[in-house]
C-alpha cells in the first residue's frame, strides 16, 4: 500500500528541490515513488500543479505512434499520425494518475501566496536511508497517511533534530 506525504514550504522553490532529491533517491533504489507533484500558490491566490509526468505530452506521443501505424495500414500515415496525436493529447489531458488533482488544489488553497507544497505518493522505501538524506531539509508536514509516530519522526528529521 502506498503512503501519502504532503510537506509545505515557506518559499516556491524548496518543494522543487525536495522533489529533485527524491528523484535522485529513486534512481538509487532507496525509494519508489508513485507520484510527486509540486503545488505552488501564485500572488493571485490560485494554486498551480507541477506534475512530474506530463500526461498530455505522453498521450500525444503514444497517439502519434498508434495513429502512424493505423494510418500506414490505410495508406495515409501522416493523417493517421495527426489524428492519433490529437486523440492521445486529449486522453492524456483528461486522465489522472496518482494523487487526485482536486485534493491537491483544495489543499493548495490553504497555502500562503509565494509558498509551495510537495505531494508525494510513496510505494515503498528504505526509511532509515531516506530519512538521513532528508535531515534538515525544512518544511512542515501538512498531511500523511503514515502512523502518528512515523509522521512525528519525519517532522523531526525535516527540522534537523
Q: What is the per-residue pLDDT across 42-99, written as a single tens digit (0 to 9) for each?
A: 777 788 888 875 444 445 455 555 555 465 556 555 555 555 555 555 555 544 457 8
Q: Are residues 104 and 155 in the same domain?
A: yes
Distance CA 122, CA 6 (A): 11
Gap between the Cα atoms of 96 and 59, Å rounded: 12
Range of the domain at 21: 3-51+100-159
In a shared domain, residues 32 and 71: no
Do 78 and 106 have their domain in common? no
Are 47 and 105 in the same domain? yes
Please indicate, yes or no, whether residues 70 and 112 belong to a single structural domain of this protein: no
Burial class of residue 43, CB neighbours in 10 A (0-12, 13-18, 19+): exposed
**Strand pairing of 3-9 and 140-144?**
antiparallel
Whole-model pTM: value is: 0.72
110 and 33 in a common domain: yes
Domain end, chosen from 38, 65, 94, is at 94
Does 20 have pLDDT greater than 60? yes
Same domain, 45 and 104: yes
Q: Does residue 123 have a pLDDT over 60?
A: yes
Domain-terminating residue out of 69, 94, 119 = 94
Same domain (yes/no): 9, 83: no
Please check the confidence at residue 154 and state whether its pLDDT lies above 80.
Answer: yes
> Are residues 43 and 120 both part of a single domain?
yes
Same domain, 44 and 119: yes
Instruction: Report, as an integer, the average pLDDT of 16-28.
Output: 94
How many structural domains compose the chain? 2
Residues 112 and 154 both lie in one domain: yes
Q: Which residues pair with 47 in a beta bridge?
A: 41
- How far apart are the C-alpha atoms of 51 and 36, rounded to whole Å? 7
Same domain, 105 and 86: no
Point out the least confidently predicted range of 67-71, 128-132, 143-147. Answer: 67-71
C-alpha 36: how far from chain center? 2
Amino acid at each position: 500500500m502506498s503512503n501519502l506525504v504532503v510537506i509545505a514550504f515557506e518559499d516556491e522553490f524548496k518543494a522543487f528541490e525536495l522533489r529533485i532529491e527524491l528523484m535522485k533517491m529513486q534512481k538509487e533504489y532507496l525509494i519508489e515513488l508513485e507520484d510527486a507533484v509540486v503545488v505552488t500558490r501564485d500572488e493571485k491566490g490560485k494554486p498551480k500543479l507541477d506534475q512530474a509526468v506530463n500526461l498530455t505530452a505522453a498521450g500525444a506521443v503514444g497517439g502519434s505512434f498508434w495513429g502512424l501505424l493505423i494510418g500506414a495500414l490505410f495508406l495515409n500515415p501522416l493523417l493517421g499520425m495527426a489524428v492519433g496525436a490529437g486523440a492521445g493529447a486529449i486522453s492524456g489531458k483528461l486522465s489522472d494518475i496518482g494523487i487526485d488533482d482536486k485534493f491537491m488544489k483544495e489543499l493548495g488553497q490553504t497555502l500562503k501566496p509565494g509558498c509551495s507544497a510537495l505531494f508525494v505518493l510513496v510505494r515503498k522505501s528504505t526509511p532509515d536511508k531516506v530519512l538521513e538524506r532528508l535531515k534538515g531539509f525544512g518544511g512542515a508536514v501538512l498531511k500523511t497517511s503514515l502512523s502518528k509516530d512515523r509522521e512525528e519522526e519525519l517532522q523531526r528529521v525535516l527540522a534537523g533534530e
